[in-house]
Amino acid sequence: MNFGVIAEYMPLYTEAFFLTIKIGWIGIAISFVLGIAVAFIMHFKIPVLSAISKAYIELFRNTPLLIQLFFLYFGLPKIGINISAEVCGALGLGLLGGSYMAETIRSGLDAVPKSQTESGKALGMKPLLIFKDIILPQAFATSVPGLLANIIFLLKETSVFSAISLMDLMFTAKDLIGLYYNTTECLVMLVIFYIIMLLPVSLIGSRVEKRVRYKMFGA
Amino acid sequence: MGFDVLLKGSNMSRLLGGLGISLEISLISVVISIVLGVGVGMLMTVNNRAVKAVTRVYLEIVRIMPQMVLLFIVYFGATKAMGLNLSAEASAIIVFSFWGVAEMADLVRGSLLSIPVIQYESSKALGFSKLQTYIYIIIPQIVRRMIPLSINLITRMIKTTSLVMMIGIVEVLKVGQQIIEANRKSSPNAAFGVFATIFILYFLACWPISCLSKYLEKKWS
């Protein structure tokens, strides 16, 4: 292990790290917005839109991000739609994540017993109020562990960005290995940066999961 | 639109052959993952500090390390650090099994923990031995929970194996790129058609399996 090399590569890695985080979290934000919209559409069974949402979820949950990105980045320009690599990464991650988020939120909404809505009605609450004050908080509580797992999954998927020559961590490592052949140093730095990026989220995830389990099973 | 390229010569069958390679790698990894994962998952519920610590670290590594990073570590790192010369296919299978075993073990652990304590206590009260408790009471209950989840692991494995292209295995995506390159002059728009086709191919490979998993989950819950 050569620490001089590590110090030399540090600025390149930090730059890539922030780019990865930036695009990753923009993608996650898109996936949340998309996921909530799609989940609501499916929960309220809005005609036509509901069918489209279902097709969208199935299509994106059953294909790998790498293929989706290749299609967006190399395929679409051929029919006149040009997207930059960064936008493509965020959009691809958002579309993939949206389908996962939608599924998690929808199952949270469906998990709230029907008697809750009925009780609300019996108390004379308006449908909107029932949804906002009774259904949503309960659905949210059951969805949280799944949502956090999705966030971890999406942050991990950012490593695929390197395939569309976005200068992320993976790309930087691959590039440096190819140029100078300091394989060990490059890989160690890669691992450390991914740990910095993901360990906090993962630890929060396990804690939340434990608390939810405690609430549900009491053990 | 570039779909015509696929009808030329043996392009479509080459593409399908590439998909076959991805599926083969995923299938081998899934089998290894399920077999070893069940064992590791049961090990995780053992009340032993050392075992718990080791399995936790293992799970956490798999949980936060992107599979692509693991792939690079095994394929490029192991060669340099230990002088091991692994073929790309072998490293892919090692990495995906390493990942799959942890996923499977976590599912097994989750299902074991979801069995209420009362089940264990009742069987103890009825005089079952520990082994008998597992064979007659716990395992039949978790198998129903496990089968849909393991089937789901297959689709995730198929999706993840698309990454092997990055360590130089010639699978469906690589074949697609070769086809596009070879026909650059005659059909410049091939990229759209070829990548759209690969997109659909992956969907067709994974969707039926997802449906089966969902169906079984609904039926047995």
From chain B, pick out residues whose CB is under 8 angstroms from the CB of A66. 162-163, 165, 173
- For residue A135, the distance in angstroms to the closest alpha carbon of chain B comes to 23
The answer to whether the Cβ–Cβ distance between B66 and A157 falls below 8 Å is yes
In whole angstroms, give the CA distance from residue A74 to residue B34: 36
Query: Model pTM greater than 0.80?
Result: yes
From chain B, pick out residues whose CB is under 8 angstroms from the CB of A70. 173, 195, 198
Are B22 and B30 within 8 A, CB to CB? no
Are B55 and B101 within 8 A, CB to CB? no
Burial of A63 (0-12, 13-18, 19+ CB in 10 A): buried
In whole angstroms, give the CA distance from residue B70 to residue B163: 11
The answer to whether the Cβ–Cβ distance between B202 and A162 falls below 8 Å is no
The answer to whether the Cβ–Cβ distance between A184 and B189 falls below 8 Å is no
Would you call B126 an interface residue with chain A, using a CB distance cutoff of 8 Å? no
Q: How many residues does chain B have?
A: 221
The residue among A67, A106, A196, A206 with the most chain B CBs within 10 A of its CB, best to mutate, is A67
Nearest CA in chain B to A169: B69
Minimal CA–CA distance to A217: which of B146, B119, B40? Answer: B119
In whole angstroms, give the CA distance from residue A157 to residue A25: 12
Are A105 and A139 within 8 A, CB to CB? yes
In whole angstroms, give the CA distance from residue A184 to residue A102: 40
Q: What is the pLDDT of residue A215?
A: 67
Using CA atoms of B209, B210, B211, B216 in order, give the dihedral in degrees to the nearest 10. 90
CA B97 to chain centre: 7
From chain B, pick out residues whose CB is under 8 angstroms from the CB of A63. 159, 199, 202-203, 206
CA A25 to chain centre: 8
Residue A201 CB coordination number (10 Å) = 15
Using CA atoms of A116, A118, A119, A124 in order, give the dihedral in degrees to the nearest 10. 130
In whole angstroms, give the CA distance from residue A214 to residue B7: 58
Model ipTM value: 0.86
Tens-binned pLDDT, residue by residue, of chain A (219 aa): 778 888 888 999 999 999 999 999 999 999 999 999 999 999 888 899 999 999 999 999 999 999 999 999 998 988 888 889 899 999 999 999 999 999 999 999 988 888 998 999 999 999 889 988 888 888 888 888 889 989 999 999 999 998 888 888 999 998 998 888 888 889 999 999 999 999 999 888 888 877 876 666 554
CB-nearest to A62 from B66, B80, B206 is B206
Q: Which residue ranges of chain B lie beneath pLDDT 70?
A: 1
The answer to whether the Cβ–Cβ distance between B173 and A70 falls below 8 Å is yes
Minimal CA–CA distance to A205: which of A145, A156, A150, A153? Answer: A145
Q: What is the pLDDT of residue A219?
A: 45
Are A92 and A23 within 8 A, CB to CB? no
Burial of B164 (0-12, 13-18, 19+ CB in 10 A): buried
In whole angstroms, give the CA distance from residue B100 to residue B30: 7
Q: What is the pLDDT of residue A217?
A: 56
- For residue B187, the distance in angstroms to the closest alpha carbon of chain A comes to 11
* Residues of chain B numbered 87-116 and touching chain A (CB < 8 Å): 114, 116
Q: What is the pLDDT of residue A5?
A: 84
Q: What is the pLDDT of residue B5?
A: 78
The answer to whether the Cβ–Cβ distance between B203 and A190 falls below 8 Å is no
Burial of A5 (0-12, 13-18, 19+ CB in 10 A): middle
The answer to whether the Cβ–Cβ distance between B69 and A198 falls below 8 Å is no
Whole-number Cα distances in Å, B23 to A16, A139, B69, B164 = 32, 37, 21, 11
SS (H, E, C) chain A: CCHHHHHHHHHHHHHHHHHHHHHHHHHHHHHHHHHHHHHHHHHCCCCCHHHHHHHHHHHHHCCCHHHHHHHHHHHHHHHCCCCCHHHHHHHHHHHHHHHHHHHHHHHHHHHCCHHHHHHHHHCCCCHHHHHHHHHHHHHHHHHHHHHHHHHHHHHHHHHHHHHHCCCCHHHHHHHHHHHHCCHHHHHHHHHHHHHHHHHHHHHHHHHHHHHHHHHHHCC
The answer to whether the Cβ–Cβ distance between B202 and A163 falls below 8 Å is no
In whole angstroms, give the CA distance from residue B123 to residue B87: 50
Nearest CA in chain B to A194: B65
